[in-house]
Structure 1
Amino acid sequence: MKIILKIIKWIGKVLGGFIFLMLLSGLCFRLFSSKPVPPGKLVDVNGVSLHIRAEGQKNDLPTLILESGAAGDTDVFHWIAEGLKKNMRVVRYDREGKWFSESSNDSITPDFYALQLHQLLEESGEKPPYILAGHSMGGPYNRIFRDLYPNEIKGMVFLDSSHPEQIERLALTDSQKKQDVQKYMSILADMGILGLVDQIFGSLINVNNDLPKDCQTRYRTLYLNSGKVLRRMVKEYNFVDDTLLKTVGQVSDLDSLPVLVFTAAEEYSGFRKEKYKRQGIDPDKELQLWFELQKELKELSKNGKQFFIDANHGSIITKKENAEIINKEILLMAKSIN
């Protein structure tokens, strides 16, 4: 019995020492690792520094405003911005609390981000008319912006955009589980452990190989070296589910506003398709439902067009050849508006 107790005590000391070493190493990693530099500039909006990237010369064409999804940053639009900035003004930014933008202490309401973006554009010297392009949850944010400032918007682009009724009509069963995982990961990130483990054993997260190396490095560093990004994602997911989508369902239609809808044709392919099958969900049926939701976005306007791209939800914008298809149509829209 004494031998067993000694073994247990020895194991406890080893584990305790290992945990202490990990905590100390994580702290040192957080203190001494290099911090990524914002690729754009920080603009003060009511005491909050927001990150914005404005490229391309101002001309007679409308300015394109790019709105990312709940988990996106400005880099996901790299190929879209690169492809269009030689022809028109392109603006992308991080919403408050995300990536390089500071958090706001204000209460988050459905129109909060639209109002804040509008002020950010004014403070940055940007002027309408605008074309709004939103990926994923960026689509609903843009619909609220257009509802508040209809005279400033000359066109809208939905990039595999979210739909107000998607939670009710699709089998989105893993949202809460994903949020719980991100909460725990945010704690490890704050302790420096995620970044440390990533450096020792290789990437813990899937960076987007379709984007340039500098974009991948920024994403990995911001995601792993601080819990800020992960906590902000959880906060936004809750806001989206509880407030945003319900509000967007009540905003006005788009009349005859020029609208482009780009839909990912491979949304439920690969591992996600197999996951749905294990859950007893028909992935083909889910895909058809997604196509119906996308069609309804097109029908918000009498002047809507829909395009299907052989891509998944992310690669529809991060893969260069997909961005080129999108850019061609956006430029045609911009020239037709002018």
Structure 2
Amino acid sequence: MRQRLELALPAVTSLVAVLLFLVTAMMPVSASAAGPCHDGEIVLDGGIESIRDLGGCIWYLEDPGQELTLDEVRALESGAFTRHEGGVLNFGYTESAYWVRLDLRSAGNPDQNGWILELALPLVDEVTLFMVRDGDLVDQRQAGYEDNWVERDLAVPNPTFRLSLAPDSLSHVYLRVVNTNTFRLPISLWHPDSYIEKVSVDELVRGILLGSVLAILAYNLFVAVSVRERSNIYYVLYLVFAAIFIFTEQVHGIQLLDSRPALFDKQFLHFQIILTWFWGLLMARSLLETRERSADLDQVIRLCLYSVVATFVLSLFLPYHVAMEWIVVGSVLLSL
């Protein structure tokens, strides 16, 4: 019994930490550091290292049928685009495509005309960049979940595009985005040196998180083999699916393995979330011995387990985006 109590605190602590990551990873993030937006244009001059909040300088257009071409969008843009005033663009779950326009006015200094545009959405299905200058299409590139990583400008989880701007000129950057997951568009601009520093910090934090989960998994695997108690086995299974979820959600499975194995494919992301909840709830129920010590709490956990199992069965028949939407709502309720 003493050993079970000693294991309870780290088990529950890591359970809460990873489950909070499951929820926050699927929710919008807020932007910071207001950028130099003037009358709908982004003015890129000396001294600017990054622009993380493009509120007031982003124009967007919904394409419900995913049929519009760049020429059709440019013909409509006089009144069809809507100006976004602040925060992160967030359209929830939708089957529409969205066009986003940024008007970039570059400085006369050539050193300030190389920029990196980042869309902090690793699981985005498709994002295509078009750059128009003086009425002509001068650049077109694509970076999506199913695309070849070798063809990306930068081999990082988030889709990124290198922008080469002409001095003292106005460039119109269009992004056509299609996504079956939550449709939020955290767009930012970075000077190359600042972006390298930002990626280094991001990967360090993610490495610490994933490394901690794997270390706890390895330790508890040995404990489960030695002790052979049901709660330890549930805990190991919970950590396994939590690690798989993190690999999938941050696309590190593709980045590390240079392939897209089914185990880390985003089409199974909702099942990974459900199974993480399932084994986590079983672990908590067994480790805390709620059946013998707290009938009320045990009834709540059983209700949550029945809900998770029902969601798993329904997800076998529901469209992907509907299942993901329901699971996000369910995860928020389960966290509470």
Using the size of structure 2 for normalisation, the TM-score is: 0.25
Larger RCO, structures 1/2 (Cα 8 Å, 6+ apart): 1
Using the size of structure 1 for normalisation, the TM-score is: 0.25
Q: Which has the larger radius of gyration?
A: 2
Greater per-residue strand proportion:
2
